[in-house]
Chain A
Amino acid sequence: KAGVTQTPRYLIKTRGQQVTLSCSPISGHRSVSWYQQTPGQGLQFLFEYFSETQRNKGNFPGRFSGRQFSNSRSEMNVSTLELGDSALYLCASSSGTGSFKNIQYFGAGTRLSVL
């Protein structure tokens, strides 16, 4: 069974640009969560989608947005990039149902550098 796939793995952008990151969850998983990891703040939750609906959102500005498609694939977008947005962005999928609904499986991440 294929794991969580994130593309691209590395990205370099300049301040003011926007970026879109993609996440393909494990087949059959309906929940996708996004996290930002930086050396200073650690792993922080961005948002979670389940069946195309955002169910939970972390404490990030509106420049960070996401969506989920009918096949459960998800994208996150960051507009008007700032230097502080440089981070490893991680996506995780889970079944969202049943007794193991909250076990999250993480992708390898997208490393974003903002210059």
Chain B
Amino acid sequence: DAKTTQPPSMDCAEGRAANLPCNHSTISGNEYVYWYRQIHSQGPQYIIHGLKNNETNEMASLIITEDRKSSTLILPHATLRDTAVYYCIVTDYSTSYGKLTFGQGTILTVHP
């Protein structure tokens, strides 16, 4: 799996957009980008994933650069409940078979 690099922490004001960056410069053609988050003492929660096109769902948007070497997770209107550790994971299912490699992630703190 390609290695990912994320900032250790970020702050965001409630109601504003939270933009969480992730670098994955060694990503290969078959690898997808996944985002999960973990709220304190809970199991990680799937947010969104993508291959090369931008994706949006009810939780967030995922912007992947054209060269696929980096991506940004966007929470459009952050709330206090979005305070969590956010993990960017790059993996190819055909070789990883159920293995997600979690890094240290980004601790996002949403302030009132």
Contacts and interface: CB of A to CB of B under 8 A. Distances in A.
B43 A45 contact: no
Contacts of A109: 42-43
A8 interface: no
Interface residues of B, number: 20
A45 B101 CA distance: 7
B96 interface: yes
Interface in B83-98: 87, 91, 93, 96-98
Given A42-B104, A101-B93, A102-B91, A108 B98 contact: no
Contacts of B46: 103-105
B55 to A, nearest CB: 12
Contact of A107 (B43, B98, B99): B43
B27 to A, nearest CB: 15
Contact of A103 (B49, B96, B97): B49
